[in-house]
Chain A
């Protein structure tokens, strides 16, 4: 082990390192219109049993990041650079076969739309049993018993009979529960939940989020929760990573990001969402403009065309020089720490009410 040498700044993780470590990830798609820079220089870490919320709008690269952890991108048109260490193993180097051994076993995924993620052709029970049989070598009847157990655990009533139902016989919330059962069937150490509740109604969303939280305590999985809704991560995640235009712009614990956010984009997100309390006569403060095209992202800080604090930085630093995201708590913005604090207290906090 000690003879292995790596370029500096990227030491080989040892057992004390975090369970998941993404380092300087770059994902590019080649399309007819040019090269889409979907993820740029993204690094983050996640410890066992913790939940990381990745927040961003559509096209911010949050889903692509997680598809590349599982190697689910189209290999012909996608280039993935950087390292993704899962439990001391760099998954970007793995062959298809080795990846198959990880998927559904050590790493599992919950998709947004359960109706398209489940096959209409097989019964729910068979789809839950399949990864269990493949990864543990269990017999058909053992796997079926396990599927029934899992369905019961996620709250499907009468699991003994419902195990033979097809996905179309389930309601939306039940399908999402079945998918959670499928993802947890092999006790994965990492669970990636990509907008798991976006297609659901609010009362069902609350059930599913609580269920995920309770199941995590029982199974001890690390969870990456991808969402566009800061409210969803507020009560579920330990840490938050805010993404914009394929880059991480702010990182910190949930309390830090929601209570003392530092990046103008996070400020914008927070003040553009109405809450259940607060002044209703005050107009919302939307972020002006719209998200940039990833074919041709803005120079310098990707947020500068929509940012209202460019003048505070002065010069053309924002459009010329890209701010770096420090390790640990921090934000990728040229404003000084003092400026960030001052602007947040004076201008942003009053808006949040």
Chain B
């Protein structure tokens, strides 16, 4: 069985051990400068939004990027599409270094990497018709598909489940879910190899979210487009991505294939995230209860060493002085990387943990009262 697995590793998207990655990211860093002082403004600090992110995206796979607000997942996405200029590190697309590529160098690559934005109300120009919005990328890249651009746009509208007759309508005539479909059609217009989807469904109602997730999944499977799926909702990422990377304060803390990450995470932060997801199944096997203290610290002055240590229940002196590298720690499968000095057991069941982890002082106090009473 195990022999079988190794030979089919190429087709098994969960662990793409072989083959050249479509996008290679090494040590990617983005620091936004903060200026202050009078009369001459000088740099007084930096928001360390992304700090040394290393990832690979393989052709046709979907990589999920999860984390809480301010962890740098959107900034990472924007650097991958080169909407932002990285401060450091390298981005290699299909063997070419595009980290600091200029406009001219990027031009041929732009059509292969597309983006879907979070807010379908802000990302469509209200003064352009749907036809104009979707044909925009073709116009810019000088692409004239057989049958003309209009025919292509109508075809795209049909692909994303909209009526091709709506070619001449304006964005305000559509609902949120339909607008997001227009955004998807625009991203598809150039037949990209890689789509960066930045929270594509979080602005939508629950019943509409599923429609858009299904559409994206269908496109990904049928057209073999690689996706970087950025979201804060762990359930949706699980549904959409074969591999998942968890980010915290500008760093990737854990990356693994879907089943490993959701069933056998090692990083304490991944444990905390999973335990916080509210589930509708009230009879499901009890998951461990971990309640962190406070919010994510400021990326202007991130904690030394391991960035999660200020909220971690396992933190020791070593965590403050030494930054844990993102490596395959002992006990991990190949492809499962964790950045932690004192990793957790790979289980999320409540039964395997002796006591709930409650870091929040208010909860501690209240729960003590209740127990005593």
Residues of A within 8 A of B (CB): 57-58, 152-155, 157, 171-174, 177, 201-207, 209-211, 214-215, 217-218, 228-232, 234-235, 254-255, 258-259, 268-270, 272-277, 280, 283-288, 290-291, 352
Q: Give the distance in Å from the alpha carbon of A280 to the alpha carbon of B239 in the complex.
A: 5
* B7 neighbours in A (Cβ, 8 Å): none
* A228 neighbours in B (Cβ, 8 Å): 205-206
Q: In chain B between 57 and 102, which residues have their CB closer than 8 angstroms to a CB of chain A?
A: 68-69
The answer to the question of B350 belonging to the interface, with a C-beta cut-off of 8 Å to chain A, is: no
Q: Known: A286-B210, A286-B211. Contact between A202 and B234, CB under 8 A?
A: yes
The answer to the question of B363 belonging to the interface, with a C-beta cut-off of 8 Å to chain A, is: yes
A290 with B369: CB separation less than 8 A: no
Q: In chain B between 252 and 283, which residues have their CB closer than 8 angstroms to a CB of chain A?
A: 258, 262, 272-283
* Residue among B217, B262, B278, B361 with most chain A CB within 10 A: B278
* A293: nearest chain-B partner, CB-CB: B175
Select one of A207, A235, A277 contacting B282, CB under 8 A: A235
The answer to the question of B140 belonging to the interface, with a C-beta cut-off of 8 Å to chain A, is: no
* A255 neighbours in B (Cβ, 8 Å): 282
Q: Mark B348-373, 1 if CB is under 8 A from A, else 0.
A: 00000000000011110111011000
The answer to the question of B292 belonging to the interface, with a C-beta cut-off of 8 Å to chain A, is: yes
The answer to the question of B232 belonging to the interface, with a C-beta cut-off of 8 Å to chain A, is: yes
Chain B nearest CB from A209 CB (Å) reads 7
How extensive is the interface on chain B, given as a class? 35 or more
The answer to the question of B207 belonging to the interface, with a C-beta cut-off of 8 Å to chain A, is: yes
* B108 neighbours in A (Cβ, 8 Å): none
Chain B nearest CB from A180 CB (Å) reads 10
The number of residue pairs between A and B whose CB atoms lie closer than 8 Å in the complex comes to 158
Select one of A152, A173, A229 contacting B294, CB under 8 A: A173
B278 with A276: CB separation less than 8 A: no
* B362 neighbours in A (Cβ, 8 Å): 152-155, 177, 211
Apart from the given pairs A153-B362, A287-B210, 17 other A-B contacts in the complex at a CB distance below 8 Å: A57-B205, A155-B360, A204-B68, A205-B276, A206-B278, A207-B360, A214-B367, A218-B370, A230-B280, A234-B280, A259-B283, A269-B206, A269-B207, A274-B235, A275-B235, A286-B214, A290-B205
B366 with A215: CB separation less than 8 A: yes
* B284 neighbours in A (Cβ, 8 Å): 277
A273 with B235: CB separation less than 8 A: yes
B363 with A214: CB separation less than 8 A: yes
* A232 neighbours in B (Cβ, 8 Å): 278
Chain A nearest CB from B290 CB (Å) reads 8
Q: Give the distance in Å from the alpha carbon of A269 to the alpha carbon of B206 in the complex.
A: 7
Q: Mark B295-308, 1 if CB is under 8 A from A, else 0.
A: 11000000000000
* B262: nearest chain-A partner, CB-CB: A276
Select one of A177, A217, A229, A274 contacting B278, CB under 8 A: A229
Q: Give the distance in Å from the alpha carbon of A273 to the alpha carbon of B207 in the complex.
A: 8
Q: Give the distance in Å from the alpha carbon of A91 to the alpha carbon of B262 in the complex.
A: 49
A171 with B294: CB separation less than 8 A: yes
Q: Give the distance in Å from the alpha carbon of A109 to the alpha carbon of B238 in the complex.
A: 35
* Residue among B208, B213, B236 with most chain A CB within 10 A: B208
* A201 neighbours in B (Cβ, 8 Å): 68-69, 232, 295-296
Q: In chain B between 123 and 147, which residues have their CB closer than 8 angstroms to a CB of chain A?
A: none
* B175 neighbours in A (Cβ, 8 Å): 290
Q: Give the distance in Å from the alpha carbon of A269 to the alpha carbon of B69 in the complex.
A: 26
The answer to the question of B209 belonging to the interface, with a C-beta cut-off of 8 Å to chain A, is: yes
* Residue among A152, A157, A210, A268 with most chain B CB within 10 A: A210
Q: Give the distance in Å from the alpha carbon of A261 to the alpha carbon of B283 in the complex.
A: 15
* A254: nearest chain-B partner, CB-CB: B282
Chain B nearest CB from A353 CB (Å) reads 9
* A284 neighbours in B (Cβ, 8 Å): 210, 213-214, 239
* A215 neighbours in B (Cβ, 8 Å): 366
The answer to the question of B343 belonging to the interface, with a C-beta cut-off of 8 Å to chain A, is: no
* A202 neighbours in B (Cβ, 8 Å): 68, 232, 234, 273, 276-277
The answer to the question of B291 belonging to the interface, with a C-beta cut-off of 8 Å to chain A, is: yes
The answer to the question of B177 belonging to the interface, with a C-beta cut-off of 8 Å to chain A, is: yes
Q: Known: A155-B363, A273-B210. Contact between A174 and B205, CB under 8 A?
A: no
* B281 neighbours in A (Cβ, 8 Å): 234, 258, 275, 277, 352
* Residue among A57, A173, A201, A218 with most chain B CB within 10 A: A201
B208 with A290: CB separation less than 8 A: yes
Q: Give the distance in Å from the alpha carbon of A276 to the alpha carbon of B365 in the complex.
A: 30
Q: Give the distance in Å from the alpha carbon of A211 to the alpha carbon of B364 in the complex.
A: 10
Select one of A174, A206, A234, A283 contacting B291, CB under 8 A: A206
B282 with A234: CB separation less than 8 A: yes
B280 with A291: CB separation less than 8 A: no
* B279: nearest chain-A partner, CB-CB: A231
* B366: nearest chain-A partner, CB-CB: A214
Chain B nearest CB from A341 CB (Å) reads 18
* A272 neighbours in B (Cβ, 8 Å): 206-207, 209-210
Q: In chain B between 172 and 212, which residues have their CB closer than 8 angstroms to a CB of chain A?
A: 175, 177-178, 205-211
Q: Give the distance in Å from the alpha carbon of A232 to the alpha carbon of B276 in the complex.
A: 10
* A210 neighbours in B (Cβ, 8 Å): 291, 360, 363
A258 with B282: CB separation less than 8 A: yes
Chain A nearest CB from B84 CB (Å) reads 23
A283 with B282: CB separation less than 8 A: no
Q: Known: A57-B205, A172-B295, A231-B279. Contact between A203 and B238, CB under 8 A?
A: no
Q: Give the distance in Å from the alpha carbon of A277 to the alpha carbon of B280 in the complex.
A: 11
* A217 neighbours in B (Cβ, 8 Å): 366, 370
Q: Give the distance in Å from the alpha carbon of A272 to the alpha carbon of B235 in the complex.
A: 11
Chain B nearest CB from A327 CB (Å) reads 24
Q: Give the distance in Å from the alpha carbon of A127 to the alpha carbon of B278 in the complex.
A: 31
